Amino acid sequence: MEGHPGLARSRDSVAQCPQGEAQEAPSTLKALIFDVDGTLADTEEAHRCAFNEAFQQLGLPWNWSKPKYAHLLPAAGVPTLMGRIEAIHRAKTLNYTRMVLAGEVPLRDGVERLIDDAARSHVRLCIATTTTFANVEALLRTGLGPKALDRFAVVGAGGNAARKKPAADIYEYVLRQLDASPQECVAIEDSANGLRAAKAAGLYTIVTPSFWTRTEDFSDADLVLPSLGSALRPLMPGAAALVGNTMLGIREICRRLDALRECG
């Protein structure tokens, strides 16, 4: 089930404003920077199954249960696995890509709507992830169409960062490519490691936890929501009250940035 209503929380109080049609964003917001795994789509179950299939293909006596995989995730990666890491990851990536291309990993509620809203509002779209570019491409093309990559001004993936999250490397790379300051961008994440990376880069950060990350510490997030909200699955009253709408859009994000600027 999408979302965890009890997780809705904000670090600040923003006055409610009238709702309306999407409009051009204020100059304070130049770009949205999305994480991928768990944020654009709840990919972790597919990753887990892809790993288990790779283990079987390589004749390895391992099978990761959901609790075991959830335990591994906060470490920001998979252990060395007795020196077989490269072969395992090659097989796993092929398995995962096949699952994504088969439509087994849908985008989370509200993701496509917010991406469309950003385009209408002239806000640039970016990716900041330490997963492989192949994984990103497969997910975007399947979820958003064959020209999905063209919609993103910058796609920062695993090959663009020396260190994984929670290091800020991948966000710093994206900001350099954008030639933008952190104050002009907003990050959307789902995990504590992602939150730490985004905040280390100086970004206003919205967190939409997934099943796999819902128990993590998001106390440093600027806004925590169970999802972005959609027409079919709107935000519950508590979360909706935080953003002034049943769905988080560019208008709502800009209100929060403007309020933060006024308070600062």
Residue 21 CA, chain-centre distance (Å), reads 25
Higher-confidence residue: 72 or 213?
213
Q: Is the pLDDT of residue 121 over 70?
A: yes
**Model confidence pLDDT, tens digit, residues 38-92:** 999 999 999 999 999 999 999 999 999 999 888 887 665 555 565 678 899 899 9
Q: What is the predicted pLDDT for the residue at 238?
A: 95
117 in active site: no
Catalytic residue among 12, 35, 150, 169: 35
Catalytic residue among 12, 37, 42, 179: 37
Q: What is the predicted pLDDT for the residue at 7?
A: 62
What average pLDDT score do residues 81-107 get? 88
Beta strands in 23-109 (DSSP E): 31-34
Share of the chain above pLDDT 70, in %: 86
Q: What is the predicted pLDDT for the residue at 82?
A: 57
Got the DSSP string for 2-36? Answer: ---GGG-EESS-----------PPPTT--EEEE--
> Which letter does DSSP use for residue 124 in this model?
E
5-42+108-263: what fold? Answer: Rossmann fold (3.40.50)
Provide the CATH number for the domain formed by 44-101 in this structure: 1.10.150.240
What average pLDDT score do residues 114-118 get? 97
Share of the chain above pLDDT 90, in %: 74
Residue 197, phi-psi category: left (phi > 0), alpha (psi -120 to 50), beta (remainder): alpha
Comparing CA positions, the residue from 137, 133, 132, 164 lying closest to residue 149 is: 137
Q: Is the pLDDT of residue 233 over 70?
A: yes
Q: Say what the pTM is.
A: 0.86
116 in active site: no
Q: Where are the domains of the chain?
A: 5-42+108-263, 44-101
Asked if the domains at 5-42+108-263 and 44-101 fall in one CATH topology, the answer is no
Contact 36, 135 (CB under 8 A): yes
**Model confidence pLDDT, tens digit, residues 122-175:** 999 999 999 889 889 999 999 999 999 999 999 999 899 999 999 999 999 999
